[in-house]
Amino acid sequence: MDHNDKQVEQGSADTADNTVAPSRRRFVGAVATTIAAAGTAAAAGGAMAQASGAGQGSGAKRKPNHPKPPFKRQQQEWPALAGKMTPRPDHGETTYRGSGRLAGRKALITGGDSGMGRAAAIAYAREGADVAISYLPFEEPDAQEVKALIEKAGRKAVLLPGDIRDEAFCKKLVDNAAQQLGGLDIVVSNAAKQHSVDSILDLTTEQFDWTMKTNLYANFWICKAAVPHMTNGGAIIVTASVQAYDPSPNLLDYAQTKAAQVAFVKSLAKQLAEKNIRVNAVAPGPVWTPLQVCGGQPPEALETFGGDTPMKRPGQPGELALAYVTLASDDSSYTTGHVYGIAGGSGQP
């Protein structure tokens, strides 16, 4: 998924003491240092320009007043639209600034119409990548907004609607993305199904199968189809969840798929290391996305959603964008098989 045969230096956290053996602590430090440095650049201003205008280094402008509970009780039919949520999620539409960290790359993002997928799509385009997104046909209004934002950044946008529960579609999705983009450097496996069910006695086989097909089978099919298209320096990023480590009782099927994704990432990373294709995951905590308002949480729980974190609020998708950029870029050239948690001070890893 990633790209050319460029080799870049490791971040400052990696070079500060090259006598220390690689470890999880050094990985977390390296990624955190990269993100912190990028955020500092965004605040201080940088010399690089992005396609959509003058950039000030990668990252988002400071926006301290993120929405906090209580939220309006609301519910939409699956799969829900970001445009109909109250408040509307912040995907970085007006805040994310790029600095060319993904210039010339070709990225496929599943579930790229909303949530973390949309945030990644916006950020990737502003970092110089062409982007293809997949989504369900019902989500076309959200997808059109993303297309406009990608094109406003001066990059190519490819829309590929369909149901990833179908193996044939997953293969076609990857092939079409590679063909229309002119290659494939980055794959973000982000689309997911989540539905709250309080008791195992009420969890139907149909619901269980739907979750497994969307979260596990599709992830496997898409990554398998993508690998032959990818070259030295490619990157696969899977959206896992803190549910993999600290599962909620009402998300029995969803949580186990996220735990399986973590194992998938760690195993596939070892397989593809010799090809220099890196495989990592982002594990979000509570994030304000359409997934939550169409059955992912009970309607009454939405009123206080994210309020039990140390930050007393849910994350906004745009707050995770820089993690997806960093893991896709050459800044993380020695990072593979790792999970980066973003959960407002709660959860693991």
Residues with catalytic annotation? 254
For residue 143, which amino acid is it? A
Total Cβ atoms within 10 A of residue 51: 19
| CB hemisphere CA count around 178 (13 angstroms) | 23
State the Cα–Cα distance between residues 60 and 41, nearest whole angstrom: 10
Contacts of 25 (CB under 8 A, 6+ apart): none
> Which residue reads 């949580």 in tokens?
255
Helices and strands per DSSP (H, E), number in the chain: 11, 11
SS (H, E, C) 90-155: CCCCCCEECCCCCCCCEEEEECCCCHHHHHHHHHHHHCCCEEEEEECHHHHHHHHHHHHHHHHCCC
Other CB atoms within a 10 A radius of the CB of residue 348 amount to 12
Kindly state the tokens that stand for 153: 């950044």
Phi then psi for residue 194, to 5 deg, are -140, 130
Please report the sign of the dihedral spanned by the C-alpha atoms of residue 132, residue 166, residue 284, residue 2: negative
Q: At what angle do helices 218-226 and 167-181 cross, to 10 degrees?
A: 40
Asked if residues 91 and 113 have their Cβ atoms less than 8 Å apart, the reply is no
